[in-house]
Structure 1
């Protein structure tokens, strides 16, 4: 009661109820397309209305899924140690952040040029995620471009496992590569399903299509007892209604359809739900992130908290051109609102140019923003001993607190500085060559990449994996 903890709330209880009822209306009246016959059969047996490939989901079927899905999911690192718990219970989730999302290009800090994402970039990126203190997991940061597509996903996953022990979010390009990727993980870590350290990430096709590839991936992962992230990507004005209200309701309906399917495959299976809301740029034929899309991310997290379902949102990636002011605005807004709200997992940090380019500098910058966001949301105590009545009485009007008892006790905790930029005076800045903030960030990033501290079993994992892949 005496600890101040700031929070952000986008939706009132009445608004949450309206979003739910509107999403239910879509599921019951419009329904979803389910491509794969086996998946449709599960819906049919459970009492859904089937009309060709169109499936309409009744309220009681949705409620059964909500009742059976667990509100807590324990995630481990690859050494088998508990890493973090995803808790869908309202107000109980600590936000966790992840590096990367399937970028096709890499912005090299050494020369500031953009290159096709290759295996070496995957290795560096995974090692960077391992080295940065405030990132909690790694989400497939790139799609390897210098290998045959049928092997690129597998070697990329191998590099991720070899270069970090942190939990992994696994995005596999297509169905043909999905089972081989699972088999690689099972070969390297036979007990992985007992202490899951990686989470398959699947997407429906917005609007309202449970495509065959997605349901087949869910079948395979759930059959192994793995948790699954079911996340949708919607562009307002293209794949979603152009209004924030329409986007929120449609994306919520899609997530609930995915939830129902997960529980039909195996009742009680752990599923993590969330959206990547974006808007369609009609001038550039791409997507962009705006104050409204960032607010939708907050609102989606609140809907999942209402359902007691663990949440996976988005960092918003970035429309910036690297680690620049445009990217900084998006990441700062996203990271602080995620920590202040109900966000669970926040993947995709490091993408820029509309998620086409991975920037290591942006990841290093975000690590500091995450740290500050967590400090902000941790709040402070109003207990009497923290107020310092004794010092105030002793020092009285006109004095100072430089040598007070409270200062002596807490001055170390009150110190604050950036993990990247030294706090300096104008005179010292002139004396040291007037280095720009970007130059300091660039050098910090290059130093980190040049001196990565990798897991002790790095080479062992690589060798064993390469022998398996042949």
Structure 2
């Protein structure tokens, strides 16, 4: 099981440079105007949190975990498998190499990470959609990696490229979704070695929000960068972050050649890597919270520092995906207390390092969008915001432990994201927020329904749910006794029926399609 996409083929295609993808001409200003396209959905900017973060570790506990992680790095080590270049980079940096295992002198990784930015901007083709990664910002991105979907007809089936496009469209239209994500579902109707091209193109064509790239082979990462350069221009990509990418540690304490290869490609081109241990506590880390945090910190320190060996200053995020397992069946569990404590603690460790933090989302083990899904997702999502998470993957659509992307769950989660955004605004202490004029006007014993302050503020005073039914029983009965998932189904259909693609310069679109056609023609289909 992996937090990354499920593609597995490791094809040996040539690098992206010099592949003949025709690029649109014109100056930088013209290119920015051309790629920005039209805005057809109301949008909320990325969250700027005005509520305090929740912390679970005191200074002694943090120091202990940091010291334990240093001990793991120095005495036990981390394996960087099947990548001679990575081993050489570490050797040149002063690490002790024993086979494929690297032992890190105390302080080496932290010293390397001094060049990593604590805050950076991921640029979208529409500049109004740019997002801040780090600081007091939170960015919501959709589910990532499911091979199955639960569609609008109630069928659980393998995902297709049409499903992929639909989820990109829904994320584009969702005001509370700040990011288009990456592998929102795995389109199994396209060969493994070619589907990344269609996925990246779908993010570019059907949305103007920022997106993620392919990490399932270094060559696919190169293709992603090449397509970004067609869209943004070579110099722009080399000097600005336009794509974010998920680099999973193969926990416990291993980075494999696939992840290392992708990380090298993106770091060399100044693109962001999320170094994210994939933790099922009890199987891939110790059963204890402190032990898991020690391993997570050691893995992130090694992986994140590696990006700085490749290119000092390349943006990198401290990531973790934390879940526990059932000690009876071995199945992953979600929404339980222990993973939340791991994520809260990891967020504190990330802030100590000065790195942006990724975790959380709307996670659940339920097979359908039922009460279990709601409770588990709410627990995870509340933690996500209160921990101070900067980049929240799996924010909408996740079912069945990440095996399924659900249309209905996506819409329910999007509604919850809007509530989180409103909560993050905190308490308005302006003169209007204090509302003394309303209190004076109404006085004792009356009501506020008709006062001037209420009439001036009623449209935006409270969050209005897209999904919840708050009418009387009689009204709900007359309207068909619809459940939340039924209302979500209708809303998803409505959004997809009304979708309008953001404009994309025809010359850029043609260049992208030329590049994709040439790449596909250069290799035979592979389905494994």
Q: Write the distance in 1 (CA, Å) between the matches of 2:323 and 2:441.
A: 57
How far off is 1:239 after superposition?
Answer: 1.2
Alpha-carbon separation, structure 1, partners of 2:70 and 2:316: 19
TM-score under structure 2 length normalisation = 0.82
In structure 2, do the counterparts of structure 1 residues 382 and 131 end up closer, same or farther at CA, with 3 Å as the change threshold?
A: closer
What CA distance in whole angstroms lies between the structure 1 residues aligned with 2:177 and 2:310? 32
Equivalent residue in structure 2 for 1:252, among 277, 290, 297: 297
1:126 to 168, 180, 194: 168
Given candidates 58, 62, 85, the residue that maps to 1:16 is 62
Q: Offset at 1:240?
A: 0.8
CA drift at 1:394: 5.9
Instruction: Work out which of the residue numbers 109, 117, 121 in structure 2 matches 1:70.
Output: 117
Q: 1:226 aligns with which of 232, 255, 271?
A: 271
In structure 2, the CA distance between the partners of 1:450 and 1:193, relative to structure 1 (3 Å rule), is: farther
Q: Pick from 315, 338, 341 the counterpart of residue 292 of structure 1.
A: 338
Which of 194, 203, 219 is the equivalent residue of 1:160?
203
Determine if contact 2:407/2:489 at 8 Å carries over to the other structure: no
SS at match of 1:199: strand
Q: Distance in 2 between matches of 1:119 and 1:4?
A: 39
When the two chains are superposed, the root-mean-square deviation of aligned CA atoms in Å is: 2.4
Moved more, 183-192 or 69-78: 183-192
Asked if structure 1 preserves the Cα contact closer than 8 Å seen for 2:362 and 2:378, the reply is: no
Bigger drift between 126-135 and 213-222 goes to 213-222
- Give the unaligned 5+ runs of structure 2: 1-48, 518-528
- How far off is 1:442 after superposition? 1.3
**Shift in CA distance, 405/147, structure 1 to aligned 2, threshold 3 Å:** closer
1:325 is aligned to 371
Whole-Å Cα distance in 2 between the matches of residues 95 and 55 of structure 1? Answer: 34
The match for 1:444 among 491, 498, 518 is: 491
- Between stretches 131-140 and 423-432, larger displacement belongs to 423-432
Aligned counterparts, 1:58-457, within 5 A = 58-81=105-128, 83-87=130-134, 92-109=135-152, 111-139=153-181, 140-190=183-233, 191-281=236-326, 283-289=328-334, 290-315=336-361, 317-348=363-394, 349-382=396-429, 386-389=433-436, 391-392=438-439, 395-457=442-504
Which residue number in structure 2 is paired with residue 32 of structure 1? Answer: 78
Does the CA contact (< 8 Å) of 2:274 and 2:316 recur in 1?
Answer: yes
SS of structure 1 residue aligned to 2:368: coil
Gaps of 5+ in 1: none
Q: Do the aligned partners of residues 69 and 194 (structure 1) sit closer, same or farther apart at CA in structure 2, a change above 3 Å counting?
A: closer
- Paired residues in the alignment total 463
Judge conservation of contact 1:162–1:458 (CA < 8 Å) in 2: no
Distance 1:196 1:362 in 2: 31
Q: How far off is 1:183 after superposition?
A: 2.5
